[in-house]
Structures are given as C-alpha cells and as structure tokens.
C-alpha cells in the first residue's frame, strides 16, 4: 500500500472521462471506506460502466484523480487489477469447465500456489455447501448457485475490493437474499464491496449509495439519510425523481 | 367458467421437456380478453418456454394451449398474424435505423406504419428524436420501446412481452409500464413476464412461476394477502449482526433481509402478534440490540413467493 490512509478503499476526486465531445463521467468525487458496502446506482447510460472501468484499471480517466486500494488509476492500473475482484451478471465463470477447473484457472491467473488453491477451494465449497458439485460443469448448476460460486471465485485471491456489476439480475428472491448475505459476510471480514443493481430494494442493503445522473453524482449518503433529505419513503421514489433520463443514447 | 369468446388464452395441463429437464409442468391458466396478465418468476422458471409455445414458435409435449380461439399446435399460421411478440433478447436489426426497423416489421405483416399510427403514436413519439439512429446505438430503455413498437405495428389482438423490463433501470421500467397501461386502455390483451416482484402490482392478475410450476394465480393484492401468517419487520442499526441474532431466536421460522429491515415469521401458531413482537424485542434487547424495532407488517408478493417456492434450488 502506498497510501497513508488505510481506512479508505476508493478515493475519487473530480474524476472525469470524455469520449470526443461527450463527457461520460463528469467530475465525480467520493470515498469508499474499507469494509463498506457501497451501492453505485444510476440510470442506463448515466456513466456507471465508464466509472467502473476506470476504477478497475481498464480505462484511463481524462482528468481528475483516483486511488483504488492505495494505487493510482493512471500509473498503477496493473496493481489495481491484482488487488480487486470483479464479477458481473453477464460473464463470471466458464460454463464448460467444472467448478474445480474454474477455481484452478482463477488461482493460476492470480498467481496462487497449488497449496493455496487447494485449501481455499475446500473452504469455499464448504461454506457454500457445494462440496459434491466440485466435478460438475458450471452450466449444469442452477443460476443462483452459479452466481454465488462466481462471487466466491472473485474473492479467491482475497482482494481488498470486489466490484459486482448487477450480480443478482434474474435470480429468485430467496437466492438473491442468500447472495446478499454472502456480501455482508465478505464485508464483515473487511472486504470492500462496490455494487451496481437495478433492484431498488437492494440499494437499501448498502451502507451508502450514490446515484449517478448524466455523468455526475447527484446524491450520496446512507439510504436512510437520503430518504430523509428527499422526503421519500423508498430509494425507488428518489431514484425516479433524480434520474429522469434526458437522452436516449447509450454511452 | 367463461366461454371461449371471453378468454384470450386457455392453457390446460401444458407440459414441455428439454431432454431430461422439465421446463413446464402441468400449467393451467385462463386469461380473459383485455387483461393485463403477468407471469412473475426468476430466470429458469419457464417463462420464455411458455411464451414461445403461446406464440407458436415451439410445440408443447403435453396438454394444450388455445390463443384467440386457435390451438397453438394447429392454427400456427393464422395465429402468427394475430399475436404480437416481444422476445426477451433484443431481436431487432442493430444496423438498421429506428425508422427502418419499424418499416421492415410492418412490411413483413403487410401493414404500413402510417395505418397503425394511432396505436403506436404514444410510444413512437418518444422515439421520434432518434428516428435515424441505428437501433444498436439506442439506450436499453429506448431499445425496449422500439421493440414494443415493432411488436405492435401489425395491430395484434394480443401482445406477449417476455421480460420487457429486465436489465432496464428503474425509471425506464416505470415509463414502460405506463405505456402498457395506455395500451391496455385500448382493449388490447397483454401478457407480460418479469423477474421483478415489485412489478406484479402493475398487473390485473399474476401467476407466480418457479421451476416450471405455477405457485399461484390471482390479483396481486390477494396473492400478497394469502401469505396467511403474521409477518414482522425488524429494524436496527447493525443489520448483519441483527440478522444472525434473529435467526438464532428459538421461535424464528424465517428471517430474510428486506430493504433496510428484516422480515420475520414465528414458528408458533397460537401466540398473538403483539406477544410475538414483544418477545422478539425482548430477546434482541438481551442480545445487545437496544434499538431493535419490531412491528407487524403487511406481507408483499415477494413474501408470498418466497413462502411458496419452498426450498431454493439445490446444487447438483
């Protein structure tokens, strides 16, 4: 870690990204604390994906600064990639590999020793109650299990921050809640969780949330404080009020 | 039982398998003319298979389905002109413009965009500023609106929308449902599926579907009310520890996170709700949650869904 402040997992100051004349991310400033569950909300096309690509070291910003797990997004993006985990609804595991093969593959990518992989695999599958599925192809697992497994695999190298992009889309309501309990568990162990979702009730599971509108962060705080400030009963209502889409163009 | 003229869809003992996987198991549902009817359930519940059968794209293995008076296994060609279908996956031509997609779908059915203008105008007006944009370059919400236009352009008598709001943000979802309300007002029968439980309230009646089976069919209000036992919300600042502690309470039946609260049900049948709330509050107080707030609450559709789905999916 090169940063002085070890209690801050993500630190963004005036972070901006332009594509030609279009400003996808427009001077966003926020901190995420270590061990926090941070909900990153916004309408489609508000700039969330661009911001996440910057914070995961995949895209350089145009201006502004950001440090992720103590590393600079301009100069240390390779370090960032080692220190974070990532899971999305669209892609998480290789469906034609078995559970064990997927875990070995990830372990290899993150330079874990064979010993570490073996030990962590056992622990993970035990925790998920998936021991008997170790030789099963991932495509044969129910969606809910795949998502829980993908989350655990994203944590295999014990990253300090995990980015979850719509992790629970389409999952049944019980599995969705079990998934959130895995998130809580990880956060309680000190992992920082940065999550996007279209389920507004899930926003209330987060410690704090931000709402992005047209590239800017228009609201930031605990769900309870935001509801009070906007005098609304639910995050859904607040979201609708803030996030009226002004353009129909994807970013 | 309403006569055939009052029903747009009659599904009897319908079943479908893919190899050893049971996609649909003994489905029985009747949908009246002019209804806005929702199938609510997660991915893999069988919604898409059911819709594909109803729009004549695949054949059932068992039972039968009658749409607009025609059997979906026999009256295939007549039905295809009369039903509108919006598949779950974006199925328009990404390289054609908004306008070109619409004209193409109209021409396939021998219709013209101008003839249908009154029906699609409320939706098309929102798309008009992007008329010349490639469909592939539209935002998620706009793609959905264009797909809806294309499904309507031959003036169908019934509209099947498979997960039109999946992956779309909360604002666009709300706007989309407002459009469906307008279409319903024209008398069109609309059958829609969604994984979002909170959208059930937008439908006249809903069917809860999970792993190929129907868990219940009724109005959203009655489904929520059918939960059938006292439900409590529990709130405290330290949520995760609160969840773990509540689960350890000797009388706890179910404890689920629900927004910023927990939803709790009790094992005991003969204890008054006030008594349950007091007991739980006292227990949580002893466990160090001095701020625990326990209140009786009205169940939601999601509570009913979870109660009826029983065991969640098991791994192999």
ipTM of predicted complex:
0.84
B contacts of A150 (beta carbons < 8 Å):
none
Contact between B86 and B145 under an 8 Å Cβ cutoff? The reply is no
Distance from the Cα of B173 to chain A's closest Cα (Å) equals 10
Instruction: Per residue of chain A (251 residues), give pLDDT as tens.
Output: 444 467 999 999 999 999 999 999 999 999 999 999 999 999 888 899 999 999 999 999 999 999 999 999 999 999 999 999 999 877 679 999 999 999 999 999 999 999 999 999 999 999 898 899 999 999 998 888 888 999 999 999 999 999 999 898 888 899 899 999 999 999 999 999 999 988 888 999 999 999 999 999 999 999 999 999 999 988 988 988 887 644 444 43
Task: Count contacts between A and B (CB, < 8 Å).
Answer: 137
Residue that wins the pLDDT comparison between B234 and B21: B234
Tokens 């069988």: give the residue. Answer: B46
Q: What pLDDT score was predicted for residue B134?
A: 96
List CB contacts (< 8 A) between A47 and chain B: none
Task: Check residue B5 and give its pLDDT.
Answer: 60
Tell me which of B129, B143, B316 to substitute to probe the interface with A (most A C-beta atoms closer than 10 Å): B316
Residue A251: which of A2, A36, A39, A54 has the closest Cα?
A54
User: Does B244 contact chain A (CB < 8 Å)?
Assistant: no
Residue B242 has pLDDT above 90, yes or no: yes
Alpha helices in B60-187 (DSSP H): 76-82, 98-108, 117-127, 140-152, 170-185
For an interface test with A, the pick among B134, B170, B291 (most A C-beta atoms closer than 10 Å) comes out as: B170
- Residue among A132, A136, A204 minimizing CB distance to B260: A204
Q: Supply the DSSP string of A231-248, one letter for each residue.
A: T-SSHHHHHHHH------
Contact A144 B130 (CB under 8 A): no
What is the arithmetic mean of pLDDT over B261-273? 95
pLDDT, position A195:
96
Phi, psi of A141 (to 5 degrees): -85, 145
CB A223 within 8 A of CB A203: yes
Interchain proximity B312–A172, CB inside 8 Å: yes
Q: CA B293, CA A198: separation in Å to the nearest integer?
A: 28
Mark yes or no for CB contact B41/A172 under 8 Å: yes
Residue A75 to chain B, least CA–CA distance (Å) = 32
pLDDT at A169: 83
Residues of B in contact with A170 (CB under 8 A): 42-43, 166, 195
**Chain B hits for A169, Cβ within 8 Å:** 166-167, 195
Which residue on chain A is closest to B255 by alpha carbon? A177
Query: Which residue in B164, B130, B133 sits closest to B147, CA to CA?
Result: B164
Q: Report pLDDT for B312.
A: 52
Looking at the complex, report in whole angstroms how far the Cα of residue A100 sits from the nearest Cα belonging to chain B. Answer: 14
Question: The whole model's pTM is what?
Answer: 0.88
Looking at residue B114, its pLDDT comes to: 85
Kindly determine whether residue B259 and residue A44, on different chains, have CB atoms separated by under 8 Å: no
The verdict on a CB contact (< 8 Å) between A174 and B130 is: no
Q: Hey, are the CB atoms on A141 and B316 less than 8 Å from each other? A: yes
Section B222-250 average pLDDT: 95
Distance from CA of A85 to the nearest CA of B (A): 22
Give the best residue of A90, A93, A173 to mutate against chain B (max B CB count within 10 A).
A173
Q: Give strand pairing partners of B276.
A: none
Q: What are the chain A neighbours of B47 within 8 Å (beta carbons)?
A: none
Residue of chain B nearest A47, judged by CA positions: B139
Cα–Cα distance list, B175 to A221, B126, B170 (Å): 26, 11, 9
User: Hey, is the C-beta of B259 within 8 angstroms of any chain A C-beta?
Assistant: yes
- Residue B287 CA from chain centroid, whole number: 40
Contact A201 B140 (CB under 8 A): no
- Give the nearest chain A residue to B45 (CA atoms): A172
Q: Identify which of A143, A145, A248 has the shortest CB distance to residue B138.
A: A248
Chain B segment 51-90 residues within 8 A of A by beta carbon are none
Q: Which of A90, A171, A172, A197 best probes binding to B when mutated, by most B CB atoms within 10 angstroms? A: A172
* Rounded Cα–Cα distance for residues B311 and A39 (Å): 29
Residue B133 · residue B97 · CB < 8 Å: yes
Query: How is A103-134 classified by DSSP, letter by letter?
Result: HHHHHHHTT--HHHHHHHHHHHHHHHT-GGGT
d(CA A86, CA A74): 19
* C-beta atoms of B316 and A136 within 8 A: yes
């Amino acid at each position: 870690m090169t940063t002085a402040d070890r209690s801050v997992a993500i630190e963004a100051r005036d972070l901006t990204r332009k594509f030609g004349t279009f400003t996808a991310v427009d001077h966003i400033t926020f901190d995420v604390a270590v061990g926090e569950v941070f909900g990153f909300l916004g309408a489609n096309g508000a700039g969330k994906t661009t911001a996440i690509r910057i914070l995961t070291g995949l895209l350089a910003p145009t201006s502004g600064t950001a440090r992720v797990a103590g590393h600079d997004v301009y100069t240390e993006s390779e370090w960032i990639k080692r220190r974070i985990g990532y899971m999305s609804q669209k892609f998480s595991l290789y469906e034609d590999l078995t559970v064990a093969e997927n875990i070995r593959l990830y372990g290899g990518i993150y330079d874990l020793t064979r010993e570490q992989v073996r030990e962590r695999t056992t622990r993970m599958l035990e925790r998920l109650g998936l021991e008997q599925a170790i030789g099963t192809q991932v495509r044969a697992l129910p969606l809910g299990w795949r998502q829980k497994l993908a989350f655990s695999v994203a944590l295999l190298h014990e990253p300090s921050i995990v980015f979850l992009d719509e992790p629970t889309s389409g999952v049944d309501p019980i599995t969705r809640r079990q998934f959130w309990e895995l998130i809580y568990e990880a956060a309680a162990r000190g992992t920082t969780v940065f999550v996007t979702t279209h389920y507004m009730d899930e926003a209330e599971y987060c410690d704090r949330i931000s709402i992005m509108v047209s590239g800017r962060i228009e609201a930031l705080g605990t769900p309870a404080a935001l509801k009070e400030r906007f005098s609304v009963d639910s995050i859904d209502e607040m979201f609708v009020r803030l996030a009226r889409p002004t353009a129909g163009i994807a970013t | 039982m309403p006569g055939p003229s009052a029903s747009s869809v009659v599904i009897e003992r319908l079943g479908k398998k893919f190899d050893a996987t049971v996609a649909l198991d003994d489905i029985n549902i009747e949908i009246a003319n002019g209804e806005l009817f929702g199938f609510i359930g997660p991915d893999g519940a069988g919604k898409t298979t059911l819709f594909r059968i109803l729009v004549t794209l695949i054949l059932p293995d068992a039972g039968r389905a009658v749409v607009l008076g025609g059997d979906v296994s026999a009256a295939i060609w007549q039905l295809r002109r009369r039903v509108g279908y919006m598949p779950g996956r974006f199925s328009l031509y990404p390289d054609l413009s908004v306008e070109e997609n619409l004209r193409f779908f109209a021409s396939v059915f021998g219709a013209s965009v101008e003839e249908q203008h009154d029906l699609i105008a409320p939706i098309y007006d929102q798309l008009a500023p992007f008329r010349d944009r490639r469909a592939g370059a539209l935002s998620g919400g706009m793609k959905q609106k264009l797909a809806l236009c294309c499904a309507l352009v031959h003036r169908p008598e019934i509209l099947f929308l498979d997960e039109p709001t999946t992956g779309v943000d909360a604002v666009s979802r709300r706007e989309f449902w407002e459009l469906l309300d307008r279409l319903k007002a024209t008398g069109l029968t609309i059958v829609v599926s969604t994984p979002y439980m909170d959208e059930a309230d937008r439908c006249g009646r809903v069917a809860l579907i999970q792993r190929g089976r129907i868990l219940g069919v009724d109005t959203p209000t009655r489904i929520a009310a059918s939960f059938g036992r006292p439900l409590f919300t529990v709130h405290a600042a330290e949520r995760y520890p609160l969840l773990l502690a509540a689960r350890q309470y000797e009388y706890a039946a179910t404890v689920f996170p629900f927004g910023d609260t927990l939803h709790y049900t009790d094992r005991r049948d003969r204890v008054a709700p006030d008594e349950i709330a007091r007991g739980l509050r006292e227990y949580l107080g002893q466990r160090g949650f001095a701020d625990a707030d326990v209140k009786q609450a009205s169940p939601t559709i999601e509570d009913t869904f979870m109660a009826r789905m029983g065991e969640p999916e098991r791994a192999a």
